[in-house]
Structure 1
């Protein structure tokens, strides 16, 4: 296991968001966490990234207790890409991506040749070379997400955590980003754990789905096991139909939600 949460509880003050969570992530897994708004998906991901403390339990990264690890040691193994982030307007793409090399440098160390090579590689992998001297504010939404992804890749991590990476993107840029993440997983052997709202992206671009509701994992397994009409109904309270579509010889599961009015009335009655 490259990343493992054992009986963790997470909260803000006395309010628990998630309780007694167990999650094991194997090397080269590509996992989507799904669930309704407020279910604790992003909270769990931030705890795995050590951005939120756990109130109980432990998280292990490469066999070590993540809470006792040096911050730079964690950053060399694990990178977190937030849903959105604000950066200074005069920052160029290359300057942003170069920040990913901070775990490898001392405060007064100059940028090394290895650092430059890592930044170049990250820009190439995300197809951002031609934008590297452009201001962050001059980028489109899709380009900014690729720049943030390049920042994460410059850390040369083994584990990549993505918090709703397709938020605010149109359908084309959503698909481009998901294809890119899938390619990075395949080519680099990255372990990827991502929170996704788009169920069809989760089914198509993952080999495992973790379903969360009310701060609890209610289903965890391969796509065929978790991506079912019953589970979607349980999670979101909507009737739905799961279809199998064939594209270029590959089968993909697709969820079509329907009957919202009927389900919503039954939900509010109870």
Structure 2
């Protein structure tokens, strides 16, 4: 597949289970070597760059993370400064300011001295997001960030990600299962199935009933709603078609940013 990510975009990667969404995200994050082709970060092969340089430009929030039971929120978020100071370097004023800012942006300042294990699921996700923001990245990669969250905490997290994009100018690439979150919070949607890109474009181009049927094997109705002066699409699945066809994928050869 061929994919380009442009500065300040919010891209949602959608597709059925096992389609390659998380694999694609891990490849972009340099967590998973590719068997062929190349991935470029600002014009340079990502595997040719020092690991610390990549970590200063890019932050990743995986689906789940195991935390030591006794670590506090502030201690966790402080780990995000490692790429900027090294393992044995002293934690300085600039690092403390970055941690304070990350906690403030995610509304976690009041939780900073609590154990990470004492937080709710939504609070833990915000703490993990604060950890990523403490790296002060230009690019933020999120792998199913709303997994295991109830509807309130899902919406709270998605609104926060969108606000961070607006305030910080972050480029965001996220894997999402919830099509309505993808429709509302994305500037661009990439639909993936069987390791191939089926569609890549703005929300209105991708959210077509025929394409959703081919992608997931379900019948849907796409509606347009207006809320707070803004219009956005809503996807309502209502029947299973049996098997999903795979149309010809668009593009090939390399992943590029």
TM-score by length of 2: 0.94
Q: 1:252 aligns with which of 223, 228, 232?
A: 232
Pick the structure with more strand per residue. Answer: 1
C-alpha distance in 1 between matches for 2:193 and 2:87: 42
Query: In the alignment, which residue of structure 1 is the partner of 2:33?
Result: 53
Two-structure CA RMSD over aligned residues (Å): 0.9
**Structure with greater contact order relative to length (CA < 8 Å, sep ≥ 6):** 2
**What are structure 1's unaligned runs of at least 5 residues?**
1-20
Q: CA deviation at 1:152?
A: 0.2
The alignment partner of 1:259 has SS state of strand
Runs of 4+ in 1 over 3 A off after TM superposition: none
Deviation readout 1:166-209 (Å, 9 max, x if unpaired): 00000000000000000000000000000000000000000000
Q: Does 1:44 align with 2:24?
A: yes
Q: Does 1:91 align with 2:59?
A: no
Give the paired residue count: 244
Q: Does 1:66 align with 2:46?
A: yes
1:115-130, aligned counterparts within 5 Å?
115-130=95-110
Query: In the alignment, which residue of structure 2 is the partner of 1:209?
Result: 189
C-alpha distance in 1 between matches for 2:57 and 2:112: 25
Query: In the alignment, which residue of structure 2 is the partner of 1:147?
Result: 127
Q: CA deviation at 1:63?
A: 1.4
Q: Does 1:219 align with 2:231?
A: no
C-alpha distance in 2 between matches for 1:199 and 1:108: 44
Query: In the alignment, which residue of structure 2 is the partner of 1:112?
Result: 92
C-alpha distance in 1 between matches for 2:42 and 2:110: 35
C-alpha distance in 1 between matches for 2:236 and 2:217: 13
C-alpha distance in 1 between matches for 2:204 and 2:239: 23
C-alpha distance in 2 between matches for 1:240 and 1:134: 44
**What are structure 2's unaligned runs of at least 5 residues?**
245-257
Q: 2:6 aligns with which of 26, 48, 58?
A: 26
Q: CA deviation at 1:83?
A: 0.7
C-alpha distance in 2 between matches for 1:106 and 1:193: 27
C-alpha distance in 1 between matches for 2:27 and 2:45: 13
